[in-house]
A = this chain, B = another copy of it.
Amino acid sequence: MSGAPRNPADGDSAGRSIWTRPQRGARGPAPTHTRDEIVAAAVALADADGLGAVSMRAVAGTLGMAAGSLYRHLSSRDDLLDLMVDRCVGELRPYPADDGDWQDRFLLLARRQLALYRRHPWLPDAISRPTVPGPNTLAHFDACLGLLRPVKARVTAKFEAIAMVTGVVSLFARSAAAAGTVTFDHVDLAAYPHLAAAFAEPPSAPPDGDLFDRTLRSLLTGLLTPNPT
Residues on A lying within 8 angstroms of B by beta carbon are 17, 20, 124-125, 128, 130-131, 133, 135, 138-139, 141-143, 145-146, 149, 154-160, 163-164, 167-168, 171, 174-175, 178, 181-182, 184, 186-187, 191-195, 197-198, 201, 204, 206, 208-209, 211, 214-215, 217-219, 221-223, 227, 229
Known: A133-B184, A218-B221. 15 other contacts (CB 8 A): A17-B186, A20-B186, A133-B187, A154-B204, A155-B204, A156-B208, A163-B171, A164-B168, A164-B171, A167-B167, A167-B168, A168-B168, A214-B222, A215-B223, A218-B222
Main secondary structure of the interface of A (DSSP, over half): helix
Known: A157-B208, A168-B167, A214-B223. Is A195-B142 also a contact (CB below 8 A)?
Answer: yes
Known: A168-B171, A227-B209. Is A141-B181 also a contact (CB below 8 A)?
Answer: no
Q: Report whether A142 and B192 are in contact in the complex, using a CB–CB cutoff of 8 Å.
A: yes
Q: How far is the CB of A174 from chain B (nearest CB, A)?
A: 7
Q: How far is the CB of A110 from chain B (nearest CB, A)?
A: 15
Q: Report whether A195 and B160 are in contact in the complex, using a CB–CB cutoff of 8 Å.
A: no
The residues of B that contact A158 with a CB separation of less than 8 Å are: 198
Between A and B, 14 residue pairs with Cβ closer than 8 Å are A17-B186, A125-B128, A131-B182, A135-B191, A145-B195, A155-B201, A155-B204, A156-B204, A159-B198, A214-B222, A214-B227, A215-B219, A217-B222, A218-B223
The residues of B that contact A191 with a CB separation of less than 8 Å are: 135, 138-139
Q: How far is the CB of A218 from chain B (nearest CB, A)?
A: 3
